[in-house]
Amino acid sequence: MIEHEIKISFQEYGSVKELDAADQNLCQHAVNAMENSHSPYSKFRVGAALRLQSGKIILGSNQENAAYPSGLCAERVALFHWGANHPNDPIEAMAVTAYTEEFALLKPVASCGSCLQVLAEYEKKQGTPVKTILYCLEGPTWVINGIETFLPFLFFEERLNG
Ligand SMILES: [Zn+2]
């Protein structure tokens, strides 16, 4: 038996104000994206914003449905919009934030496994890593560079070919 250990590293900033101007701007877009969250069931609003190499910003927000599995996370709403409309303009960074009136969010909210898998697919497709900024409105901001930090056992299409 061989035991392996995987270490990941990410940066924590005490506040979004410690980020550079472009990343602060992207976080503000993620906050604005929450306005269009359709979350009557969870009352948990999530906003995502992608910054593309051209400077273009793409927004996504969680879209829930009375038939619960039909809804989609903010990250995949933004990422699939990118894939469908701007696939040749690489994603530089993605900011994700969340808010609920139900309780205080004191730590950044991380993306779900399905969104990370979609991010992995697109990182692989564009050939460059995406900086993910997990921004908490009242608390620390985490910056993660590249999907392999986030999801070390991610599934790539090579695995489909044996
Ligand atoms: Zn998700």
Q: Which domains does the chain have, with CATH numbers?
A: 11-161 (3.40.140.10)
User: Is residue 75 among the annotated active site residues?
Assistant: yes
CA atoms within 13 A on the CB side of 9: 0
Instruction: Provide the pLDDT for residue 25.
Output: 97
Neighbours of ion ligand 1 (CB under 5 A): 73, 112, 115
Confidence of residue 52 (pLDDT cuts 50, 70, 90): very high
Residues 38-46, mean pLDDT to the nearest whole number: 97
What is the percent of the chain with per-residue pLDDT over 70, rounded to a whole number?
Answer: 99
Cα of 146 from ligand 1 centre, angstroms: 17
Cα of 2 from ligand 1 centre, angstroms: 33
Among 19, 24, 71, CA closest to 45: 71
- Catalytic pick from 5, 64, 75, 92? 75
